[in-house]
Chain A
Amino acid sequence: MLLSVKNLTCSRNNRSILGNISLTLNKAQIISLYGPNGSGKTTLLKTLANILSYSEGIITKKTKEICFLGHTNCLKTNLTVKENLSFWNGIYAGDTLEKAISSLKLQDIINIPIAQLSAGQKRKVALARLVISKSEVWLLDEPYSALDKENLLLFNQAIVGHLKTNGGIIMSSHTPIEFEGAKPLNILEFKIANGLQNDPFIEGSCS
């Protein structure tokens, strides 16, 4: 077991939006967290990463190494791909920079500033940070956004590689991901009725 959650209640802006969440992430397992816009997927992932605090419940982690990839790419537009990845390699004291570059086929854009890349290429560079981090648990918030078919396959290969090393992944998306062995989890099961109208732009208001 890498991560276990029992009766967790997640809040955003002092408002409980998800409750009674219990799940376990085992080694070499992938959980597909799905739900519509504003249903609280990002909040749950950030809470599991300990970026957001939670009001009730217990989160047990067997590993300190957790890597979260949100909607933003954690990249500096003034720096090149190599400079950005070297920075993260230094932060994680990693030795897998070359592996990350080759596994996501970044060689052709390695010396190009991030500002000159397309949205899909930026996403691909952001995904390389996961490989560099050597974290056992990856928490991915809609990682496939902006990726084309070819890059999606490359990323899936990186996922398979991570699972082979006994890593675990919780990945959010709007629909359940089509990945062999992925355990689907509908976030609406944990929604707390809060009297808000259904508005996809207000977090936690979707039913």
Chain B
Amino acid sequence: MISILKRDILLSIRSGSGFTLSLSFFFLIIILIPLAIGPENTKLQSITPGILWISALLSCLLSLDRMFQSDFEDGTLEAFLLAPVPLEGIVFAKAIAHWLTTGLAITLVAPIIGFLYGFDQSTSLWMFLALLVGTPSLSFIGAFGASITIGLKRGSLLLPVLIMPFFIPTLIFGSQTVWQASTGLQMINSFLFTAGVSAFVISLMPFAAALAINSALK
């Protein structure tokens, strides 16, 4: 599984679809919002938690469609079926690689976003923690979505429509955590729910995705 992790990170760097694309897209949305609605600090701070999570979600979507598609096209996915590594483990490793190149990269720049929007240190810290525990669920749900659109014509267009509804719990609890932290309210419950959704998704989605891949190849 370490081999898959290493290879996918390397591929994402070489193809330019990883860190740079996701981060550029994320920063563009975050920077464009104040230009569109004006620089008023209170207004910006009230909508930032939602904007932040929607930006993270859209950035993760960018490279999802290639998660299994290139392996499907070059026959690697068939070879995986016969390899002495469980398919669930392969899905897990690929989702982790996707998270490292998108979700983690976004999480690491979150404190900069907090600074740009004038949040205090405590809010920026909770923003970082919420993204750290919440973004893995985006990659794992995405892995399931990518697995059920393998081999489909226009699968990359269908993928966001299929998986967006599954992002809703993470979006709600993740943005609530940041919003409650910024207004001085108790945010621990929302944070724990964000972590809970991630834990549930990480434990379930590799099995669901492996099942979908098996059925797509047969």
Contact = CB atoms under 8 A, between A and B. Distances in A.
Nearest to A53: B218
Give the one of B15, B78, B82 with max A CB within 10 A. Answer: B82
Given A49-B82, A78-B14, A92-B84, A73 B3 contact: no
A46 B217 CA distance: 10
A45 B76 CA distance: 16
B10 A79 contact: yes
B122 to A, nearest CB: 42
A74 B79 contact: yes
Interface in A71-128: 71-76, 78-79, 83, 86-87, 89-93
A178 B217 CA distance: 33
Contact of B10 (A72, A83, A91, A93): A83
A23 interface: no
B81 A51 contact: yes
A65 B76 CA distance: 16
Interface in B197-213: none
A75 B74 contact: yes
Interface in B1-50: 2-4, 6-7, 10-11, 14-15
Dominant secondary structure at the B interface: helix
B75 interface: yes
A36 interface: no
A92 B10 contact: no
A83 B3 CA distance: 10
Interface in A16-68: 46, 49-53, 64-68
Contacts of B85: 91
Contact of B218 (A51, A75, A78, A89): A51
A74 B76 CA distance: 5
Interface of B: 2-4, 6-7, 10-11, 14-15, 70, 73-76, 78-85, 217-218
